[in-house]
Amino acid sequence: MVESLFFLLLLQLLGEAAVHILALPIPSAVLGMLLLWFWLLTGLPVPKKLETLVRGILNYLTLLFIPAAVGIIEHKQRIVSDGWWLLLVLVFSTLLGIAAAAWVMRWLEKHDAHAAPSGTEGAQ
Amino acid sequence: MNLFPVDFWHWLRPGPLFGLTMTLGAFALAQVAARLCRGHPLANPLLLAIIFIGVVLVAAGIPYADYFAGAKFLHFLLGPATVALAVPLARHTPALRKDLFRIGAGILVGMTVATASTLALAWLFGGDATMLRSLAAKSATTPIAIGITERLGGLPSLAVAAVMVTGIGGAILGIPLLRRMRIEDPRIVGIALGVSAHGIGTARALQFDIKAGAYAALGMAVTGALLAVILPLCFWLYPRLAALV
C-alpha cells in the first residue's frame, strides 16, 4: 500500500516538475495521470497493490471534492444579489453540453460504419 | 450568531481536526440520507454533504478558511486520485483506440456547446465582462479553470464556484437526462459527463460504471487541456474580429 501511494505521489511530483519547467497550462495531477497511463501501456512494472489502492481511492472520489465545493458558500452573497439566473445558466449550459456530446456520439455510431458496436443499444 | 462557547472554538480553531471530522461525518450522513431516498438524483451525497457543512459553518459563524484548514488534507488527495484515474484508462485503452474519432467528436462538440451556451446565456441575462471571463472556464477541472480565469482577467474565486456548480449540476442531472435520451452506453455517458462536468462528473461516471469512469477521465483531461489553449485565444481574437466588422 505504501509503495502504491508513493508511486502515485511520485508521478504527480514528476508532473509538477514538468509543468513548472515547461510552463504547461495543465495541472500536475492531470499530467501525472497521463504519465501513469503511458507507464501502464508500455507494460513497465508497477507496485503489486496498486490496483487495490486505486479502487479504494476512486470509490471515494466524490468525498475528495467536498472541501473545494463547500467554497460555494463564499459566493452566497453574489448568488442572492445577482439572482438565481447564475445557477440556472451554469446548470442549463452543462446539461446542453452533456446532451450535445451524447447526441453526436450516438449519431456517429448509427452513421459511421467504422464505429465499434456498442452492445448496449438495440439493433437498428 | 455563535452556537459554540467561545473557549471551545478557541482551542478547536487552529487544528485540522474540526474540518476533517466534519467533512467525513457529513459525507457519511449524506450517504445514509441518499440511501434512505433510494438513490433519488436530487439526494446526491455531494450536494447533501455541502448543504450539511454549509449550514453548520453559516450558523456557527465559522469562516470557510478555518474549515478548509482541516479539510485541505482530503482536498490534497484529489491529486493522487486524479493520477489513479490512469488505471481504468489503461484498462480500456484498446476499446478507446477503436473509437477515437467518435470520442474526439463528442469532446469537441460537448466542450463547445457547454462553453458557448454559458457565455451566450450569461450575456443575455446581462452579465458584465468580468462575469463572462469568470464563467468561461467552468467546464475545465478546478486547477485548469483557475489558470485560465487568471489569464482572461476574471475572478478566480468566482470561477471555482462556477466550476463546482457545473460539476454538481452535471453529476446530479446528467445521468437522468441521458436516460431520458435513452443513452446508457457507458462510453457515451463517460465522455458526456467528463467533458461538461469535469472531475465531479467523472466521480459520478465511476459510480455508474468503471468503463464510463475511464472515458470520463479522458474527456476531462482533453477538455481541460483544450480549453486552456482555446479560451485565451478566443478572448484575444474576439475584440479584434468585432473591430473589423
| pLDDT value at A115 more than 80 | no
What is the pLDDT, as a whole number, of residue A21?
A: 94
- Would you give the distance in Å from CA B131 to the centre of its chain? 18
Burial of B14 (0-12, 13-18, 19+ CB in 10 A): exposed
| pLDDT value at A123 more than 50 | no
Cβ contacts of B142 on chain A, cutoff 8 Å: 68
ipTM value: 0.88
Instruction: List B residues 167-186 in contact with A (Cβ-Cβ < 8 A).
Output: 167-170, 173-174, 177-178, 181, 183-186
Amino acid occupying residue B95: A
- Contact criterion met (CB < 8 Å) for A69 and B168: yes
C-alpha cell at B100: 477515437
Distance from CA of A43 to the nearest CA of B (A): 10
A53, A5 contact by CB (below 8 A)? yes
What is the pLDDT, as a whole number, of residue A124?
A: 38
Whole-prediction pTM: 0.85
Tell me whether A45 touches chain B (CB under 8 Å).
Answer: no
Question: How far is residue B120's CA from residue A3's CA, in Å, rounded to a whole number?
Answer: 48
Query: For residue B188, what is the DSSP state?
Result: H
By C-alpha distance, which of A70, A114, A107, A62 is closest to B54? A70
Distances (CA, A) of A88 to A93, B16, B82, B231: 8, 35, 28, 22
- Contact criterion met (CB < 8 Å) for A74 and B161: yes
Tell me whether A85 touches chain B (CB under 8 Å).
Answer: yes
- Contact criterion met (CB < 8 Å) for B164 and A68: yes
Tens place of pLDDT per residue across chain B (245 aa): 555 555 666 666 667 888 999 999 999 999 999 999 987 888 889 999 999 999 999 888 888 999 999 899 999 998 999 899 999 989 889 988 888 999 999 999 999 999 999 999 999 998 889 999 999 999 998 888 988 898 898 988 889 899 999 999 999 999 999 999 999 999 999 999 999 999 999 999 999 999 999 999 999 989 988 998 899 888 888 888 877 76
Which of B53, B77, B87 to substitute to test the interface with A, most A CBs within 10 Å? Answer: B87
B110, B195 contact by CB (below 8 A)? yes
- Would you give the distance in Å from CA B242 to the centre of its chain? 32
